[in-house]
C-alpha cells in the first residue's frame, strides 16, 4: 500500500459532482474519488482550516473517540469494486486494534481531523490512479474545477458587478447565497445553488 495525502476537493465539470483528490508523497500519482456534497464540504473545511459554525458529524466523532481514548491508527482505501471505492478505519484502544469498514469519504474526513495517515492499496492505484505533472509545485489535473466556489464563494473575490454582464452578475449573487447556505449548514440548498452556478458559468464559457 502507498501513503497518500488529501490535496484538493474539486468539481468534475461534466457531472458537477465533487471529487476528492489524493496524492502520493513522491508526487507521481493522484487518485480521484467521487464523494457526496456534504462530505465534500466537510473535507474542504478541514483541509483549509475553516471550521463550521457548529460541530458536524465528523467533529462529533473525533470528540467521542478522544473521550474514550481511542486512536485512529490509519485509514486505508482498500478496494475498488464495480466502480465503488471501499475503505477501512483502523482504531487502537488499550493495545487492541479494531478495523472498521467505511466509505472513503467518511474515512478521509475523519483522518484529516485526527491527523491520521492515509493509505491506498496498490491494486486501487493500479486500477484508478492517474499520473501527474508538477509545475511550480502545484498539481495540474485536466477536467476539474476548484470546489472553493462551493464553500468560499463571495462577492469580495469577484469583479465589480457593474463590469459584469447580467449572467455574470447572477453568478455573483448566487455565490453570495451559496456562502450563506454553507454557513447555515443548509447543504441541500447549497448543492442546488452550486449546480445553478455551474450551469450559468458553463453558459458564459460557450
pLDDT, mean of residues 1-18: 84
Map the chain to HEC letters: CEEEEEEEEEEECCCCEEEEEEEECCCCEEEEEECCHHHHHHHHHHHCCCCCCCCCHHHHHHHHHHHCCCEEEEEEEEEEECCEEEEEEEEEECCEEEEEEECHHHHHHHHHHHCCCEEECHHHHHHHCEECEEECCEEECCCCEECHHHHCCCHHHCCCHHHCCHHHHHHHHHHHHHHHHHHCCCHHHHHHHHHHHHHHHHHHHC
Q: What is the mean pLDDT of the chain?
A: 79
Residue 156 has pLDDT above 70, yes or no: no
pLDDT for 105-153, tens place per residue?
A: 999 999 999 999 999 999 999 999 887 654 333 444 444 445 554 454 4
> Would you state the pLDDT for residue 169?
62
CATH superfamily of 2-146: Bifunctional nuclease domain (3.10.690.10)
pLDDT for 38-49, tens place per residue?
A: 899 899 889 888
Residue 165 has pLDDT above 70, yes or no: no
> Would you state the pLDDT for residue 120?
97
> Would you state the pLDDT for residue 50?
83
This model's pTM is above 0.95 = no
The model's confidence at residue 83, banded by pLDDT at 50, 70 and 90, is confident
> Would you state the pLDDT for residue 152?
47
> Would you state the pLDDT for residue 138?
43
Domain boundaries, the chain: 2-146, 153-205
Amino acid at each position: 500500500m502507498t501513503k497518500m495525502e488529501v490535496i484538493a476537493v474539486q468539481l468534475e465539470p461534466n457531472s458537477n459532482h465533487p471529487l476528492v483528490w489524493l496524492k502520493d508523497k513522491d508526487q507521481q500519482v493522484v487518485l480521484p474519488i467521487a464523494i457526496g456534497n456534504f462530505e465534500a464540504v466537510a473535507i474542504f473545511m478541514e483541509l483549509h482550516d475553516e471550521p463550521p459554525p457548529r460541530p458536524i458529524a465528523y467533529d462529533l466523532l473525533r470528540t467521542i473517540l478522544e473521550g474514550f481514548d481511542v486512536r485512529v491508527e490509519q485509514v486505508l482505501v482498500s478496494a475498488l469494486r464495480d466502480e465503488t471505492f471501499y475503505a477501512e478505519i483502523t482504531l487502537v484502544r488499550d493495545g487492541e486494534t479494531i478495523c472498521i469498514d467505511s466509505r472513503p469519504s467518511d474515512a478521509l474526513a475523519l483522518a484529516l481531523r485526527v491527523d491520521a495517515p492515509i493509505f491506498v492499496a496498490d491494486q486501487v492505484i493500479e486500477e484508478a490512479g492517474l499520473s501527474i505533472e508538477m509545475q511550480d509545485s502545484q498539481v495540474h489535473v485536466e477536467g476539474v474545477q476548484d470546489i472553493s466556489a462551493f464553500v468560499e464563494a463571495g462577492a469580495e473575490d469577484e469583479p465589480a458587478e457593474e463590469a459584469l454582464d447580467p449572467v455574470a452578475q447572477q453568478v455573483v449573487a448566487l455565490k453570495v447565497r451559496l456562502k450563506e447556505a454553507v454557513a447555515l449548514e443548509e447543504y441541500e440548498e447549497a448543492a442546488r445553488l452550486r449546480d445553478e452556478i455551474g450551469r450559468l458559468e458553463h453558459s458564459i464559457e460557450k
